[in-house]
Structure formats: structure tokens, C-alpha cells
Chains A and B, each alone.
Chain A
Amino acid sequence: MLEKMIFGRYIPGDSFIHRLDARAKLIFVFLFIAIVFIANSWITYGVLFVFTFLIIRMSKIRLYFLINGLKPVVILIIFTFLLHLIFTKEGSIIFEWKFIKIYEEGLRQGIFISIRFFVLVILTSILTLTTTPISITDALEALLNPLKKWKLPVHELALMMSISLRFIPTLMDETDKIMKAQMARGSDMTSGSIKERMNAIVPLLIPLFVSAFKRAEDLATAMEVRGYKGGEGRTRYRKLEWATRDTVILLTLVVLAVILLYFRQ
């Protein structure tokens, strides 16, 4: 049931994007988030859209799978689009039916916001789909390392993040399992009236929380048993290596920013 969800999952592969240094990818996504906000016209949003598709192509992830896996987000995007469409009241009216009036500006805003939303979600998903959680964590730790001077618990933050990422699929599987067990006992969240569905939530959530806490406890014990005492003095097995392609991908972002600034209105 939940197996189509792709948040936080990693798809092994050997594409150009897969091989990039995780630090480069992280910086890329953060800069991209900022750059997206430069766009404000048809051309600039068009450029963003095309750019995103090029990245998808380079990652060799099937578009169908990507869209299918992001279905909940797509629904959210459609919802925001409709909100903008109906509630923006500027520009000339382009469509009128009974009490519904659609303005030119509303359509424009709706499309722009949807594209913005879409490219952000796609690119962040590609980050997690092409990078193992462990390298994302390593990269984050490496990038945040300078902040240690100000007593920021960088190692602990990175560890927390990696554990959360690691357990998303596990929790999904667990949810699926418990949902089936309760369905077999006649409590079904996927059908019936709204009241029945609400009633079916508790029998799902309680076992889920219980097992999540138990897992957390077991994990803590297992780590302690194997001598984990925090980041102090811990050596590394994996080394991050910055290659030319990492510089190149960041430079394309600079080019993108320049193009967007040029065509901006």
C-alpha cells in the first residue's frame, strides 16, 4: 500500500548524479532553493522547468516512477494551484461561470507557484534518491563542521538526521504490516465511512509508536554495546572526495542564476 512512497529512499545506480560528491549535491540543493526565487516570468520559470528535467535525465531515474512516488505532493501542488486560481483577483477576467471568476493574474500565479513547488520537490527527492543516507549525513557533518567552534553539536545533529532518514522506510513497512493485521481484524482505514476510518487510526498508531520506541531503545543499546561514545576520536571508513565534476555541477548553477537574472522582469 505504502510501498510506492519514495521519500527518503535511495535507489542504487551509477549515473553522473549518483557519482557526485554528497557535499556538492547538498550545496547544490541549498543554492538551488535560493535561486528558484529569482524567477518571476514565463521565460525564467520555463528555464527552471527545463533545467529540472535535464537533472532528472542525468540521474537516470524514470520520470513515471518519480511522479508516481510523489503523488501526495502532486495533489498538494494541484490544491495550491486551485487556491491561487480562485482567490487572486488581479488583471483581466479570462473566464467566468456563475460566481466563479478567474483572473489572468490568478492563472499566472497559480502556474508559477506550482512550477516552483514542483522543481523544489523534484530536486530534493533526487538528492535523497541518488545519495545514500550515510553520505548525506557525512556531507552535512563536513559542511557544518566549522560551526563546532560555536558549540553546535554537529556530530549529534548529523547522527540524528541519518537515523531518521534510515528509519523512514522501516517505519513505512511497519505501518503496512500493522495496517494489514488490523484490517484482518475488521478495522479498515482504507474504506468505510469517515467515522470508521477515524476509529481505525488508534489501533494503527499505538502499535506503531510502541515499536518505534522499542526500536529506538534497542538501537541505543546496540550502539553502546559496540562502543559508541559520540563523535570524539571516531575515525572514518568512508572519505568524501571532491572531483572536477563536483565543481562543474556547481558552476552550472552559477550559469543558471545568471540566465535567470538576465531574463528576470
Chain B
Amino acid sequence: MDITLQQVSYAYAKNTPFEKRALFDVNLDIPSGSYQAIIGHTGSGKSTVLQHLNALLKPTEGSIKIGDVLVKADQKNKHLRKVRQKVGIVFQFPEHQLFDETVLKDIMFGPMNFGVPAEEAKSRAIELSRLLGLPEEVLEKSPFDLSGGQMRRVAIAGVLAMNPEVLVLDEPTAGLDPRGRKEIMDLFYRLHQEKGLTTVLVTHSMEDAARYADRIAIMHDGKCVLEGTPQEIFENEERLLDYRLELPQCVKFQKKVEQMMGKKLPTICLTEEKLAEELARLMKEEREV
């Protein structure tokens, strides 16, 4: 499902003394099946953009096209339910949305709201909790008796269980242990590829953005200031620093090595694996000379 933001502006609490403009003329194109990362410092408007992606917020100016539904200011829309079924959002700190008696029921809540039969919802829930590494016995527990990390996994399972076509993730792994982070990010990536999902990831981790995304957008003070492939984005360090962002660790490392050796690698390496490969190749060449 293609999503297009056109000149989207948004103000919280419009027409009150607390009015706060959070977005200014944001343009963003998210083609079907792509993996889009959105980065930017705290308060730059990332979460606000995300809430537009399934019409929880409507732009105060401009419009958003989600599939074939057009969302505009003050426009009543009957198709929002369909949109919300297709666009699943994992909010920042999603563990706050858990409420049901048992973990199983909580995961089944979303799909059942959208008319999925109980049996089917149940099998999805069991499957997903396994994929997310939740132990079997957790399913019958109250979600409030879990650890923070387990609650996070349950909340994520609850969104994935709706089988969305578009998966929107707002810092899904913030505050998890390093191993858990990697597992969950890999799971998202696998789903992205296997099911052809369109994925939108908000993250503070430059490494994750570099590793997984096809395209990256940078938000700064409510504007979308830069958009491009990870290569393009991480080429220009000064620009990133202007937006209070940094290079991913391995790109930093690559720059240091290049500086010390007085040599340049042919490309910017966005993952450790790629960097190791390039360096090994370089060292081999040196030896042969």
C-alpha cells in the first residue's frame, strides 16, 4: 500500500493558548513494500508523523493518501476502520496499552475487533508469541505480571496479530536488552521480506536505520529536511551533526581507519559485516603488493 504525505502540517490543541505546531509542510513518499526509516532528535515530530499514517491524527493542512483513501483536515471519513486494519502501529512504549485478563486474550484483541474468528486469532497469537520469544506459560498469565521486556513483546504481538500490510514502528526496541533488540529487529525485517510488508521505523539507533532501511528521512523541528538512501544520508557527516544526529558506529570506525591509513574504501559500509569484508579485502591487497 503506497502512502503519500503531501504538504502535511499539524498543530496540537489548535485554537487554544496551548497551540503547538508540530509539523510544517512535510512531504514524504512511502512506496508499497519499502522499508522507510525516520530519524531525528527528540521532539522533532517523528511520532506525530506516525500518527498520521493511520489517520489517528488528521493534518491541519495538506493531505495524506493511504492506499486509495485520502485523509484531509476536517473531513469525515468512513473508511478509516479499513485503513486501521491495514496499517498496524506499534506505539512508543506500547506496553501501556495492555489491558486484558490474559496475555493470550490481549494479543487476540486486535484481530477480533477486525472480525477475525476466535480460532484463527488464537492460532496467530500462539504463533506470534513463539516468534517473539515469549515462553508458552506466559500466555495464560495476566499481562500486568510480566517484566517490562515481556510486556513490550506482548504489545508487539498484539499489533502483528492483525496481519497489517503496513507496519509502523515507533522506537519498538527502546529499553530492551541488546540481544532482545536484535532478535526483534530481525523478526520485523524477516516479516518485511517474507510478507512484502511496507515498514516505517522510527528509531534513535543510526545502526538500525543503516542496516535495515531502504530509505531514510530526517525530521528536524517539525520539517522533513532530508530524504534519501542510507548511503546518501550517511555520506555527509556535517549535515547530520547540524540535525543533532550522528553517523552509525561502523561508519565512524570506517572513517577513522580511512584517516589513519590515508586510503578510502570504495563505498560507505552500513553494517559491521560489510565493513569487515571490505577491510579484509583491503588488507589482502596490501599484502599482495
Which chain A positions have C-beta within 8 A of B84? 183-184, 186
Specify which of A69, A183, A186 is in contact with B162 (CB 8 Å cutoff).
A186
B12's nearest neighbour on chain A, judged by CB, is: A3
- Residue from B16, B17, B51, B98 within 8 A of A180 (CB atoms): B51
- Which residue on chain B has the smallest CB distance to residue A177? B96
Is A75 on the interface with B (CB-CB < 8 A)?
no
- CB of B99 within 8 Å of the partner chain: yes
Q: Which of B12, B99, B144, B159 contacts A203 (CB 8 A)?
A: B99
Known contacts A180-B51, A185-B97, A207-B97: A4-B16 contact under CB 8 Å: yes
The reply to whether A207 and B54 contact each other, CB–CB distance below 8 Å, is no
Establish whether residues B17 and A186, one from each chain, have CB atoms under 8 Å apart when the complex forms.
Answer: no
B97 engages A64 (CB within 8 Å):
no
B236 at interface by CB-CB < 8 Å: no
Check B94 against A3 for contact (C-beta < 8 Å): no
1/0 contact string of B1-23 vs chain A (CB within 8 Å)? 00000000000110111100000
Distance A64 CA – B16 CA, assembled complex (angstroms)? 9
Q: Which residues of A contact B162 (CB under 8 A)?
A: 185-186
CA distance A167 to B56 in the complex (A): 24
Contacts A181-B96, A203-B99, A207-B96: A187 and B18 contacting too (C-beta < 8 A)?
no
The answer to whether A178 and B85 touch across the interface, beta carbons within 8 angstroms, is no
Is B113 close to A, CB under 8 A?
yes
Q: What's the Cα separation between A257 and B15 when bound, in Å?
A: 36
Is A15 an interface residue, CB under 8 A from the partner? no
Within 8 A of A (CB), among B100-159: 100, 109-110, 113-114, 144, 158-159
In the assembled complex, how far is the CB of residue B77 from the closest CB belonging to chain A, in whole angstroms? Answer: 10
- Does B89 count as interface, using CB distance less than 8 angstroms? yes
A206 and B99 contact, CB distance less than 8 A: yes
Q: Is A64's CB under 8 angstroms from B13's CB? A: no
Say yes or no: is B81 at the interface (Cβ < 8 Å to chain A).
yes
Q: How close is B240's CB to chain A, nearest CB, in angstroms?
A: 30
Contacts A183-B56, A203-B109, A207-B99 given; indicate if A65 touches B85 (C-beta within 8 A): no
Note all chain A residues with C-beta closer than 8 A to B98: 207
Contact: A184 with B89, CB < 8 Å?
A: yes
Q: Interface readout for A172-215 with B: 1 if CB under 8 Å, 0 if not?
A: 00100110111111111000000000000011001100110000
Q: Does B35 contact A (CB under 8 A)?
A: no
Known contacts A184-B84, A185-B159, A203-B99; is-contact A62 B17 (Cβ 8 Å): yes
Give bound CA distance, A11 to B19, whole Å: 12
What A residues does B18 contact at CB under 8 A? 3, 9, 11
**In the complex, which residues of chain A have a beta carbon less than 8 angstroms from the beta carbon of B81?**
186, 188
In the complex, whether A68 has a CB less than 8 A from a CB of chain B is yes
Interface size class of B (residues with CB under 8 A): 20 to 34
Docked Cα-Cα span, A177 to B57, in Å, equals 12
The interface residues of chain B lying within 8 Å CB-to-CB of A6 are 16
Q: Which residues of A contact B56 (CB under 8 A)?
A: 180, 183-184
Residue pair B16, A184 in contact (C-beta under 8 Å): no
Contact A187 B16 (CB under 8 A): no
Point out the residue from B54, B89, B113, B144 that lies within 8 Å of A187, measured CB to CB. B113
User: A181 and B113: CB pair below 8 A?
Assistant: no
Per the bound structure, the CA–CA distance linking A182 and B100 in Å amounts to: 12
Are B16 and A68 touching (Cβ within 8 A)? yes
The residue of chain B having its C-beta at the shortest distance from the C-beta of A61 within the complex is: B17
User: Closest approach, in angstroms, between the C-beta of B89 and any C-beta of chain A?
Assistant: 5
Residues of A close to B17: CB separation below 8 A: 11, 61-62, 65
Q: Within the assembled complex, what's the spacing in Å between the Cα atoms of A207 and B98?
A: 6
B12 in contact with A210 (CB, 8 Å): no
Chain B window 35-72, contacts with chain A (Cβ cutoff 8 Å), 1 for yes, 0 for no: 00000000000000001001010000000000000000
Give the one of B17, B109, B162 with max A CB within 10 A: B17
Residues of A1-32 whose CB lies within 8 A of B: 3-4, 6, 9, 11
List CB contacts (< 8 Å) of B76-96 with chain A.
81, 84-85, 87-89, 91, 94, 96
**When the two chains form their complex, are residues A187 and B13 in contact, meaning their CB atoms are under 8 A apart?**
no
- 15 residue pairs of the A-B complex, CB under 8 angstroms, read A6-B16, A62-B17, A177-B96, A181-B89, A181-B94, A184-B84, A185-B97, A185-B110, A185-B162, A186-B110, A186-B114, A187-B113, A188-B81, A206-B99, A210-B144
Q: Which 3 A-B pairs have the closest CB atoms?
A: A186-B113, A181-B97, A206-B99
Q: List chain B positions with a Cβ less than 8 A from chain A.
A: 12-13, 15-18, 51, 54, 56, 81, 84-85, 87-89, 91, 94, 96-100, 109-110, 113-114, 144, 158-159, 162
